[in-house]
Amino acid sequence: MARITESLRKSPGWMLLPLRLFLGFTFTFAGLQKLANPGFFNASNPASIEAQIRAYQLRSPIHLLLGIASHAPVVFGLIIALGELAVGVGVLLGVFTRLAALGGIMISFMLFLAVSFHSHPYYIGSDIVFVFAWTPLLIFGDGQVASLEANVKRKLGIIAPLGTTVGIDFGTITRVCGHHEAGRCRANGRAICQVASCPVLNGFIELGQPRSQRAATPVYDPERRRFLVRAGTVGVAGGTAVVLGTLSAGIGRILYQAPKALSDSLASSTSSTQDPPPTTSPATTAAPGASAPATTSAPTTGGPPPKGTAVGPATAVPVGQVASFTDPASGEPAYVLHPSTAKFVAFSAICPHAGCTVQYAGSDRFVCPCHGSAFNALTGAVLNGPAATGLTPIPIAEGSNGQLYVDG
Ligand code: FES
């Protein structure tokens, strides 16, 4: 046991291996998950990068930066996904581990400021934990353990394999031994300092000889092949990332079923938000546990038009289904449900805990991916925290033309 402890103490690379594997796998998975999900790049999806940027912009201390990113959300989303993938693959393979750790810290800190800055208590937000989890790898790197870069360097002789004798000039030894003084050796009774009697070298006399006379001792030139090693290892890591990313994106697009978005239906609808047809007033019911009443309505046949903005046809949300739309009042992503004939309920998709976008999880539940809060999809009420309040209801009504109108 003492031996194992001593070996671990001498080689931080082994001690850091579990942390490195966890962080590498997590960031690789996070990047691939984004690339594999077409909804991430589809603006009409409430979980899209565009919807998330819009939502985070409202509360984040870096809202100015997010405002810039909101002009090119797909590019921003791609940078995040590919950045996570590059960091994850680099750390897993042991290629530029310190640089990858720095990238991990930057991505985590940016996510902390954008997403989990308002998490309360602060330690519930995972991003700040990731920031600090990366620091040991930033300081120690991979310790040349399970490292592609280190293995290639060993193969090419840029770093010496364990147990290899490396030539060091005798002059260097006299400078660092601590006993050398004015050409004499204090450790050897102030005898003339020479290789043959050097107590530090302890018999490695060959090292003090001129290079041409030495036995075949490997000589390592770190500069000689550095470019080749870097290009090669980056090529392997980059190629791995490209293959993984391409496979994920392809498989994701084959398997993924995008949730319905009302805005898609609205685009092809013939109705106009400027000229809604006549309707009767919608009926209103309270949403237990939610912060304000939600509105439901029955299809109408006459009377004044409903107030508000058309967000899409009611037929796009069959009974028992859910669809997404953008709340015209706030610009936030939102969901509308059709629990029974002629009844619609709508809620903001923004989690009241720290602003993540909730997702419909079936069984009449919305679940927040950030810290696991769950909400009743019919009322918006909290089923479990850490969110303390329910989802914000959005008054919605169906007009006589079959369009759904949001009061905003
Ligand atoms: Fe924390 Fe939703 S943001 S649970």
138 and 233, same structural domain?
yes
* Ligand 1 atom closest to 116 (CA): 3
267 and 133, same structural domain?
no
Residue 228's pLDDT is what?
73
- Is residue 369 within 8 A of residue 381, CB to CB? The reply is no
346 and 230, same structural domain?
no
Could you tell me the pLDDT band of residue 178, with boundaries at 50, 70 and 90? confident
Burial class (CB in 10 A: 0-12, 13-18, 19+), 9: exposed
Mean pLDDT value of segment 264-272 = 38
Q: What is the pLDDT of residues 58-79, one digit of tens each?
A: 778 888 888 888 888 889 989 9
Residue 161's pLDDT is what?
58
CA-to-CA distance for 257 and 261, rounded, in angstroms? 12
Q: Is residue 347 scored above 60 in pLDDT? A: yes
More confident residue, 319 or 279: 319
266 and 246, same structural domain?
no
Nearest to 130 by CA among 26, 13, 237, 59: 26
Residue 23's pLDDT is what?
96
What kind and span of H or E run contains 401? none
Residue 56's pLDDT is what?
77
Q: Considering only CA atoms, which residue is closest to atom 3 of ligand 1?
A: 354
Structural domain count, the chain: 2
269 and 244, same structural domain?
no
236 and 267, same structural domain?
no
Residue 22's pLDDT is what?
95
128 and 266, same structural domain?
no
Residue 353's pLDDT is what?
82
* Ligand 1 atom closest to 368 (CA): 2
Percent of the chain residues topping a pLDDT of 90: 14
Q: Is residue 382 scored above 80 in pLDDT? A: yes
Which of 56, 356, 366 is the pocket-test mutation for ligand 1 (most atoms within 8 Å of CB)?
Answer: 356
More confident residue, 262 or 365: 365
Q: What is the pLDDT of residues 116-136, one digit of tens each?
A: 787 777 777 788 999 999 999
239 and 269, same structural domain?
no
Which of 370, 383, 384 is the pocket-test mutation for ligand 1 (most atoms within 8 Å of CB)?
Answer: 370
> Where are the alpha helices (H) located in 125-225, listed in sequence order?
126-133, 135-140, 148-156, 170-176
Residue 97's pLDDT is what?
92
Residue 265's pLDDT is what?
43
Domain that residue 311 falls in: 262-276+286-350+392-406
The three-point CA angle 383-392-276 to 5° equals: 135
Q: What is the pLDDT of residues 201-210, one digit of tens each?
A: 654 444 444 4
Going from the Cα of 383 to the center of ligand 1, the distance in angstroms, rounded, reads: 13
Going from the Cα of 51 to the center of ligand 1, the distance in angstroms, rounded, reads: 16
* Residue 203 forms part of a structural domain: no
268 and 132, same structural domain?
no
301 and 244, same structural domain?
no
